[in-house]
Structure 1
Amino acid sequence: MAAGAVCSAALAALTAVPAQAQEPEHRAPHWELKDTGASGVRFRGLSAVSRDTAWVAGTGGTVLRTTDGGASWRNVSPPGASDLQFRDIEAFDARRAVVLAIGEGEASRVYRTDDGGVTWTESFRNTDTKAFYDCLTFFDRRHGLAVSDPVDGKFRILSTGDGGRSWKVLPGDGMPAALDGEAGFAASGQCLVASGPSDVWLATGGGARARVLHSADRGLTWTAGDTPVPVGDPAKGVFALAFRDRTHGLAVGGDYRPDQSSPRAAARTADGGRTWQPAAEPPSAYRSGAAWLPHSRTAALAVGPTGTDLTTDGGRTWHTVDTGSYDTVDCTPDLGCWAAGEQGRVARLEL
């Protein structure tokens, strides 16, 4: 059966019967937890390479890698990084990956490995006390960007053209002024996402409006579009983006504080982020990660500390399909969807 047909059949099963109501041998597609052996780590960085290979990055400078579908995990953390907080990782295959540590000043760093994490090279260390890097993304195996919260009134963009081996700060001339209090969220590695060879989007919150900034030239010039996601507080805004092509995208977020509600916490665009429409039925709570299902033009997942939501109509309506806690989610063309979060939780979607 073709991958697209498999995905369609799996989606039908996913929305048909709650997994807990079925016998194990007849369960619908569901998250299957994988034992990482890292219960004290929160994994907000995730990069799925395939159904077999995935990388996760988190607190305590921890990086793990699996090449057997999560049956076993190898601790490939960079040496001397135990004080760092890894929030994003981008892997090109089972051997090559780039990981971002977040924080003020020199806490923001980038490392790269070419041998599956046996050795790492620190390729960037922030020396500007006003900068705080949140997320990174790649267009291809060579070209990528990282984003810092505003410095001197504008978001700062870091660029690489050699796969993360070296970085340079891009000129800020093409970046619109940041709103008062506006920032990115280092919650899932998905506040900066790319699609295709040159398009990239940046999600924001904390200001008077939750915005999505778009660049069509790899970060040199940007335009800003307002979203209907509520803001007006440092804890509110758009936390994650997912684009299936250069025009169709999803935004999820809300208020990350567990005692606060998150109404209208999802939106969608069909024009590359120029305009955004609120979901008619948004997720029931704050969501920090999102990913389109492979081989589908209308299905996507959103995850957060209180559960996973599924849309099958391009983000118009969302329905909770799991109540497990996850911070981030990523999918691959071979139907390899992975999620990661607190207490060392990593799961693969079993179809």
Structure 2
Amino acid sequence: MGLCAAALAAALAGAVPAQARGDAKTPHWELKDSGTDVRLRGLSAVSRDTAWVAGSKGTVLRTTDGGTHWRNVSPPGAADLEFRDIEAFDARRAVVLAIGEGEASRVLHTDDGGATWTESFRNTDAKAFYDCITFLDRRHGLAMSDPVDGRFRILSTSDGGRSWKVLPADGMPAAQDGEAGFAASGQCLVASGPRDVWLATGGGARARVLHSRDRGLTWTAADTPIPAGDPARGVFAVAFRDRTHGLAVGGDYRADQASPQAAATTPDGGRTWTPAAHPPPAYRSGVTWLPHSRSVALAVGPTGTDLTTDGGRTWRTLDTGSYDTVDCTPDLGCWASGEKGRVARLER
């Protein structure tokens, strides 16, 4: 059933963990049968009815009936590609990113619901490795690569993903030794509004968030309190509800390693970051704001889903199922996806 924003926020605020739930009306993830067992780290929610997911073995799936049925719309000949991010504009138009070294990094787009796909970018630089893609509107989008010659590389489109160009590197701060992005949830590069973009990093001495106010031409970098100093640690995902208020989540993706200070907040567009007073209990790879709310957000990872109702200062576990990424739509369609073909929609 549909919910207004205030009602859903109030219901989430009073929610208890799924394993203790006795009230069927408490908001909870409802698993949908995706028909696949591949890991689905790419997710783009269009509405409560329509969503796209993408993952391993060149897999792209689409639903237009709320997850009851999923259509396999994978590009032909893509079985060797690793899709980690997808951005959809509606039920017909989507852009998907394949990651990897050299030519494994590619961008494909469809205008007919996945019936046909066109490759619009193939990386030819052996030093580049693309991680995430984002769109500021239906025409302008960016993709990011791990550092090449000491700086993160940015790819830009102004025609909805049909063509791409590498932006000049002179507006990008120098990368730290070992610094990179994490292609874990499609949320290491995000946008809010027509010009603002943020890029999340890890692997270096400090976990940082880079911010551009001009569609990727120039960037500033800010340290976050999320631990780094290891290739497995850093900021894995960011989310901004407007151009100033943001959330960052991450930690250490290794299951046998603790992830203290796995979340942080910013009130000033990413210039400064404050650790959550009570962060999620473990590594989190995806985060999203609840639409129309100034204080409610969800974070997901392999060990569960956490909820904040105070803008990211405190988090508590809502569900213990495994998800890699999460996305919500203006009509309050919240979706999550992850390992073994898991896809779910938030229900009440």
> Which TM bucket (shorter chain)?
over 0.9
TM norm structure 1: 0.97
Aligned positions of 1:20-169 closer than 5 A: 20-23=19-22, 26-39=24-37, 41-169=38-166
Determine the C-alpha separation between the residues in 2 that align with 1:264 and 1:323.
19
Instruction: Describe the shift of the 1:151–1:188 C-alpha distance in structure 2 as closer, same or farther (beyond 3 A).
Output: same
CA distance in 2, matches of 1:10, 1:116: 34
Give how far 1:13 is off: 3.5
What is the CA distance between 1:23 and its match in structure 2? 4.2
Q: TM-score, normalised by structure 2?
A: 0.98
Structure 1 Cα separation of the partners of residues 250 and 17 of structure 2: 25
Report the AA paired with residue 6 of structure 2. Answer: A
Query: Map of 1:201-216 to 2, 5 A cutoff?
Result: 201-216=198-213
Secondary structure of the structure 1 residue equivalent to 2:8: helix
1:187 equivalent to 2:184? Answer yes
1:345 paired to 2:346: no
Secondary structure of the residue that 1:206 maps to in structure 2?
coil
5+ residue gaps, structure 1: none
Shift of 1:4: 2.6
How far apart are the structure 2 equivalents of 1:253 and 1:263?
Answer: 10
Identity of counterpart residues, as a percentage? 83
Q: For residues 282 and 13 of structure 2, what CA distance do their matches in structure 1 show?
A: 24
Q: Cα distance 1:334–1:86, how it changes in 2: closer, same or farther (>3 A)? A: same
* CA–CA distance in structure 2, aligned partners of residues 20 and 82 of structure 1: 37
- The letter of the residue matching 2:191 is A
Give the whole-Å Cα distance in 2 for the aligned partners of 1:200 and 1:283: 25
- Correspondence 1:178 to 2:175: yes
Contact 1:3 1:295 in 2 (8 A): no
State yes or no: 1:7 paired with 2:44: no
Structure 2: how far apart are the matches of 1:229 and 1:2?
34
Contact kept? 2:18, 2:320, Cα under 8 Å: no
Residue type of the alignment partner of 2:8: C
Note if 1:258 corresponds to 2:255. Answer: yes
Instruction: Give the conservation status (yes or no) of the 8 Å contact 2:212–2:218.
Output: yes
| Structure 1 stretches of at least 4 aligned residues deviating more than 4 Å after TM superposition | none
Deviation at 1:128, TM superposition (A): 0.2
Amino acid at match of 2:325: T
Q: Deviations over 1:264-288 (max 9, x none)?
A: 0110000000000000101000000
Counterpart residue type for residue 20 of structure 2: A
Q: How far does the alpha carbon of each residue in 1:193-246 deviate from its partner, in whole angstroms, 9 at most, with x for none?
A: 000000000000000100000000000000000000001100000000000000
1:238 matches 2:235? yes
Question: Which letter maps to 1:209?
Answer: R
Cα separation, 2, equivalents of 1:211 and 1:8: 30
- Return the offset for 1:302: 0.4
Separation in structure 1 between the aligned mates of residue 260 and residue 233 of structure 2, nearest angstrom: 11
- For 1:90 and 1:109, locate their aligned partners in 2 and report how far apart those are by CA, in whole Å: 14
Answer whether contact 1:31 1:350 (CA < 8 A) is retained: yes
Structure 1 residue 11 displacement after superposition = 1.9
Q: Do 1:182 and 1:204's aligned partners in 2 also have CA atoms closer than 8 Å?
A: yes
1:283–1:319 Cα contact (<8 Å) kept: yes
Cα displacement (A) at 1:53: 0.3
User: Deviation at 1:5?
Assistant: 2.5
Which residue type is aligned with residue 161 of structure 2? G
Unmatched runs of 5 consecutive residues or more in structure 2: none
Distance in 1 (CA, whole Å) between partners of 2:55 and 2:3 is: 35
> CA offset at residue 2 of structure 1?
7.6
Once residues 23 and 4 of structure 1 are traced to their aligned partners in structure 2, the CA distance between those partners, rounded to angstroms, is 23
Aligned residue type for 1:20: Q
Whole-angstrom CA distance in 2 between matches of 1:30 and 1:144: 32
Secondary structure of the equivalent of 1:280? coil
Report the 3-state secondary structure (helix = DSSP H, G, I; strand = E; otherwise coil) of the residue aligned with 1:135.
strand
Taking a change above 3 Å as real, the CA distance of residues 277 and 82 of structure 1, as seen in their structure-2 partners, is same
> What is the aligned partner in structure 2 of residue 19 from structure 1?
18
Assess, with a 3 A threshold, how the Cα gap between structure 1 residues 146 and 197 changes in structure 2: closer, same or farther: same
1:114-160 C-alpha deviation (Å, 9 max, x unpaired): 00000000000000000000000000000000000000000000000
Residues 291 and 331, structure 1, Cα contact 8 Å, conserved in 2: yes
